[in-house]
Structure 1
């Protein structure tokens, strides 16, 4: 009986080992997307599964893609704060992400930070990602009308200019189709609801899929 038990246990162990080996290609094939941004990425006011990274991951997987989207959004972050933590975030991964979605600058605009500083910080972020050979999808931001024409004239061109400079793909306005629609934003009229995030995901997903 003991010999039979030992043989059965050996077969079970072999089966588990083969199962692990069989799973390796699937794990290796999984794409890693870094969603690097502020509260719009983090999912301010939403449940974890309602955030942009979570909904994007779910939508891509529904399309049959093996993808993990890492939420590296921090509410309140300016481009300077994003630049300061970028290397720490990248060092936390066992390998380089296949794609980085960079969504920063909204808080700079809301605080009236000099657009030249915003551009310099985003420039440093994109330069570091390029140095690490990580593909970038740059999510643009537009200055609010109350910031004035002079500010908008300096702020809005930052994103297309940097995308051209670094050969990054540009999604011109992260909140496209959401801003101005009260049904899709929270009571602060800034952050998207879960449904608003769904609109963002549907709009940006074709670019993400093309880059992966």
Structure 2
């Protein structure tokens, strides 16, 4: 039979072993929870230019942006919340349920709407009010916003073009959010970077869009 002293020593060793095990488990939990928190979530909220009209999922703007950011070593997921044909009115109507459907609050929203309002000749005041409400809602929820602008078609009335193109910097200034002036920069008017419709980017064109906006996304992402 083991002596009382030996039993006490064994009990002490057992207690120390359990304590070390608990510390290891706690450390692992902290590590993995920290890793999960470290992965940024970007919400790409827009129309067909965001959704990836007639493109494979991996060729879409959100997918290519995610790949570009990850290539830089950033832990990030870019959620595709683009809907082809969306106007600012339609986007405003669905923004709440899109946010509710996410696992957590985004670290950044890339808001790229207004092109379909312009193409349908809808009042600029309506588009501006919708974007104003969406940006305000995101900001109130503590979600940073990168506003993405569009240029109006050259065949539209000059006054309409000025009003439409002016609403983006006006909203960016009002809300204090960064603005990327033209989503289709480097792609518009380039047949080799567009689909046959001459309006939407092909996969290569999306790559040009991603490279153009990437510095703005880097800067807008919380550190």
**What TM-score, normalized by structure 1, do the two folds share?**
0.89
Instruction: State the alpha-carbon separation in 2 of the partners of residues 18 and 40 from structure 1.
Output: 44
> The residue matched to 1:146 in structure 2 has which SS?
coil
Correspondence 1:43-54 to 2 at 5 A: 43-54=52-63
- Count of aligned pairs between the two proteins: 198
2:122 counterpart residue number: 113
1:138 lines up with 2:147 in the alignment: yes
Task: Map Cα deviations across residues 21-74 of structure 1 (whole Å, 9 max, x no partner).
Answer: 643322220000000000000000100000000000000000000000000000
1:38 counterpart residue number: 47
Choose the corresponding residue for 1:169, options 178, 189, 194: 178
1:200 lines up with 2:196 in the alignment: no
Pairwise CA distance, 1:96: 1.2
Pairwise CA distance, 1:91: 1.0
1:83 lines up with 2:92 in the alignment: yes
The runs of 4+ residues in structure 1 deviating greater than 4 Å are: 15-22
Instruction: State the alpha-carbon separation in 2 of the partners of residues 162 and 120 from structure 1.
Output: 10
Structure 2 unmatched runs, 5+:
1-23
1:55 counterpart residue number: 64
Calculate the aligned-residue CA RMSD, in Å. Answer: 1.7
Instruction: State the alpha-carbon separation in 1 of the partners of residues 29 and 49 from structure 2.
Output: 38
Which has the larger Rg? 2
> The residue matched to 2:73 in structure 1 has which SS?
coil
Correspondence 1:118-129 to 2 at 5 A: 118-129=127-138
1:23 counterpart residue number: 32
Instruction: State the alpha-carbon separation in 1 of the partners of residues 71 and 53 from structure 2.
Output: 24
Instruction: State the alpha-carbon separation in 1 of the partners of residues 107 and 31 from structure 2.
Output: 23
